[in-house]
Amino acid sequence: MSKTQSLPRPLHSGTASKGIKGRIRVPGDKSISHRSLMLGALALGETEIHGLLEGEDVLRTAEAMRLLGGAAERGEDGVWRARGRGIGGLREAAEVLDLGNAGTGTRLLMGLVAAYPMVTFFTGDASLRSRPMARVSDPLKLMGAQVIARQGGRPPLAVIGTKDPLPITYKLPVASAQVKSAILLAGLNTPGVTTVIEPEPTRDHTELMLKGFGAKLVVEQTKEGRAVSLTGQPEITGRKIVVPGDPSSAAFPIAAALVVQGSELTIENVGLNPHRIGLIETLLEMGADIRIENERIEAGERVGDLRVKHGALRGVTVPPERAPSMIDEYPILSVIAAYAEGETRMLGLGELRVKESDRLGAMARGLKACGVDVSEGPDWLSVKGTGKPPAGGAEIAVNLDHRPAMSFLVLGLAARKPVTIDDGSPIDTSFPTFVDLMNGIGTGIRLQNR
């Protein structure tokens, strides 16, 4: 049954009285997993993907790639293997690509298919169908593709690819790794050099992976920002990819260990790409006891183990320029801030309004319902903690959004009263093992009986 059809799964989270303890690993990085399936399908020869995130979003990308003629298969050993036919080796999908809840899958694939003479239809769940896609369609049109979409550029939409794609130089109007990646992926089958300039640097997994596969890609600091130039139609060859643990998923057990008394937790093998560690930087400024151990480079990405201990936290101001390096972590940061003493001001958060839900509004409403002193502006959130556990005791509607869902379950772990979310099923999009993994380290998250 697809997620849009399945019954809501209400979850209940009460006090984790004995502390959060243990040594765990979180599932593979969602961003790297999407990209490895796409590039694996275009590289000549075999690509082995170790540690692919088998969450709903990534499985939708795997299915979309199968429909586009670039299937990867899961072996009995848990390793995914793709046998690519080279750039140019995609074929038109005979069905609509249903990307479910996945903005990354949709936007990157829109780019990937735009430089082929074929038509590709995209749809998704109610959340995805409300998300703006013009940010991707606009540059793809400059490259010669056409996009027909609902008002506001929203899906369902069709990308009519071009057989004569033009290389462009494009300055991103929003800080978005998804838009940057969509253009670079379109640039793969485009003769000449495609350049994306980002005024604020965003996660660079696409760049690292393209280089790892052997593409010619140059990154320069210019007056206008970070310029990434890709030479099109390279011969890229299959390789081994080792997907690190997702720092955006690790954020939830980290938060649990920080807010529950008596906690001491180690999370091994977490991705520590410098463009993804804004949350850790912020938590250290708040006084968190977090240590990075065993730091190393694996398959081109920085990884390490994180040791986290419970302790007092203080409010801080998180500057707007840090937003791209922790964009998915603001929901859980706002929960941690509710346990800290003093005000935490989070600035430059306009993009949170157009994620799987309006996360700024969702966190402000839910925190208020849990007795937290919170205020919001168009692109900022302020949480005033007292250094004591918040009241909790609310039932929160998660509106098809996994990150607020997990965030409020964490809030319930040390609040004065338990917290319930109306539907835990969206969690499967990015962290399908969340409940079992959290219960294995001391939480008691359970299905709410109605």
Ligand X SMILES: O=C(O)C1=C[C@@H](OP(=O)(O)O)[C@@H](O)[C@H](O)C1
User: In this chain, which stretch among 65-73, 101-109, 156-164, 295-303 interacts with ligand PEP, using CB under 6 A?
Assistant: 101-109
Spatial CA neighbour of 306 closest among 264, 275, 243: 264
For ligand X, the closer of residues 106 and 420 by Cβ is 106
CA dist 249 → 17, 173, 329, 356, 427 (Å): 23, 28, 9, 16, 10
CA distance 30 to 327: 14
Q: Which two tokens stand for residue 216?
A: 């010619």
Task: List contacts with ligand X (CB under 6 A).
Answer: 31, 104, 176-178, 181, 203, 327-328, 351
Angle at the Cα of 127 (from 425 to 14), degrees rounded to 5?
35
Residue 177 interacts with, from ligand PEP, ligand X, none (CB under 5-8 Å by kind)? ligand X
102 is a site residue for ligand PEP (CB under 6 A)? yes
Q: Which of 98, 198, 356, 428 binds ligand PEP (CB under 6 A)?
A: 356
Is 428 among the residues known to form the active site?
no
Binding pattern for the stretch 297-336 against ligand PEP, x by CB under 6 A and - elsewhere? -------------------------------x--------
Identify whether 156 is preceded by a cis peptide bond (ω within 30 of 0): yes
For ligand PEP, the closer of residues 112 and 215 by Cβ is 112
Q: Which two tokens stand for residue 189?
A: 């089958």
190 is a site residue for ligand PEP (CB under 6 A)? no
Question: Is 296 labeled as ligand-binding?
Answer: no
User: In this chain, which stretch among 95-103, 229-237, 289-297, 302-310 interacts with ligand PEP, using CB under 6 A?
Assistant: 95-103
61 is a site residue for ligand PEP (CB under 6 A)? no
Binding pattern for the stretch 11-40 against ligand PEP, x by CB under 6 A and - elsewhere? -------------------x----------
Q: Which two tokens stand for residue 275?
A: 């463009």
Please return the burial class of 86, using the count of CB atoms within 10 Å of its CB with bins 0-12, 13-18 and 19+: middle
Is there a contact between 344 and 316 (Cβ–Cβ < 8 Å)? yes
Question: Is 450 labeled as ligand-binding?
Answer: no
Q: Which of 104, 162, 190, 344 binds ligand PEP (CB under 6 A)?
A: 104
From 98, 328, 401, 428, the catalytic residue: 328
Q: Closest residue (Cβ) to ligand PEP?
A: 103
205 is a site residue for ligand PEP (CB under 6 A)? no
User: In this chain, which stretch among 80-88, 96-104, 303-311, 373-381 interacts with ligand PEP, using CB under 6 A?
Assistant: 96-104
Start-to-end CA distance of the chain, whole Å, equals: 22
For ligand PEP, the closer of residues 16 and 332 by Cβ is 332
β-pair partners for 241:
49
CA distance 400 to 187: 32
Q: Closest residue (Cβ) to ligand X?
A: 31
For ligand X, the closer of residues 12 and 203 by Cβ is 203
Residue 403 interacts with, from ligand PEP, ligand X, none (CB under 5-8 Å by kind)? ligand PEP
Is there a contact between 400 and 102 (Cβ–Cβ < 8 Å)? no
181 is a site residue for ligand PEP (CB under 6 A)? no
56 is a site residue for ligand PEP (CB under 6 A)? no
403 is a site residue for ligand PEP (CB under 6 A)? yes
Q: Which two tokens stand for residue 97?
A: 């690509």
Shortest spacing between CB 110 and ligand PEP, in angstroms: 13
User: In this chain, which stretch among 11-19, 97-105, 136-144, 420-428 interacts with ligand PEP, using CB under 6 A?
Assistant: 97-105
Residue 334 interacts with, from ligand X, ligand PEP, none (CB under 5-8 Å by kind)? none
For ligand X, the closer of residues 255 and 327 by Cβ is 327
Between 205-212 and 30-42, two packed helices, what is the crossing angle to 10 degrees?
A: 30
Question: Is 30 labeled as ligand-binding?
Answer: yes
Shortest spacing between CB 444 and ligand PEP, in angstroms: 25
Binding pattern for the stretch 407-436 against ligand PEP, x by CB under 6 A and - elsewhere? -----------------------x------
Residues labelled as active-site residues: 328
Binding-site residue ranges for 3-phosphoshikimate: 30-31, 35, 176, 178, 328, 355
Binding-site residue ranges for phosphoenolpyruvate: 30, 103, 131, 178, 359, 403
Binding stretches for ligand PEP (CB under 6 A): 30, 57, 101-104, 328, 355-356, 403, 430
